[in-house]
Amino acid sequence: MRGKFISFEGIDGCGKTTQIKFLEEYLLKQGYNILVLREPGGTKVGEKVRDILLDKNNFISPVTEMLLYASSRAQLVEEKILPALEKGQIVILDRFVDSSYVYQGYARDLGMEKVKLVNEIATKGLLPDVTIYIDITPEEAMKRRGKREADRLEKESYEFHKKVREGYLKLIKGYSERFVFINGMKDSIKVHQEIIDAVEKYL
């Protein structure tokens, strides 16, 4: 039987990485066969592309940025995601194509059409079975980041992160059947419980 594909989305600092770890531990205890990956990255080539994308000393044009994210994604789909789904594994992915719609298409103003065109090639049309969107305000994200050194994207202005959140909220309205909206401002254990409740419906 084909596996399941779960992606996580949200603005930088929304708590995705912690929640993915909690979900992984929970599902492993239930005996599921899990593969956790991240974007950009998740493959040898993709991790190199990630270094280029997140290096705060690089100037990268919006189109180049879109293509680099898509190239990391194309490698991940071919090398890891499709084979894992064929083996029946549950793939948990820290960001997927929705990040490109929101960050490049909306916040960088490239437009949804260009992002869609490029990413249909990169993903071969693959979409997650369910996407967990963790919502927090950009103010809360900044507070959580504290004094930790920011990467190239995290260094963007408050306005940019506000636009990213706005982009997610618009995107979710358009694809409501695939997305699960989670209020990430709550205690992390409550957030975890809500995520489990949502994911179990799809397994």
Contact residues for ligand TMP (CB under 6 A)?
12, 38-40, 69, 94-95, 99-100, 103-104, 153
Question: Are the C-beta atoms of 135 and 165 separated by less than 8 Å?
Answer: yes
Q: How far is the CB of 30 from ligand TMP (least distance, A)?
A: 26
Q: How far is the CB of 156 from ligand TMP (least distance, A)?
A: 8
* Between 47 and 129, CB nearer to ligand TMP: 47
Joined together, the tokens standing for residue 44 give 């040898």
Closest C-alpha to 12, from 123, 122, 127, 156: 156
* Between 100 and 131, CB nearer to ligand TMP: 100
Query: Which helix (H) or strand (E) element contains residue 178?
Result: none
Helices (H), ranges, the chain: 16-29, 44-54, 62-76, 82-86, 97-99, 112-123, 138-145, 158-174, 188-200
Q: How far is the CB of 1 from ligand TMP (least distance, A)?
A: 28
Closest C-alpha to 81, from 93, 69, 70: 93
* Between 21 and 87, CB nearer to ligand TMP: 21
Specify the 3-state DSSP secondary structure of 86.
helix
* Between 147 and 201, CB nearer to ligand TMP: 147
Q: How far is the CB of 32 from ligand TMP (least distance, A)?
A: 23
* Between 33 and 64, CB nearer to ligand TMP: 64
Q: How far is the CB of 123 from ligand TMP (least distance, A)?
A: 11
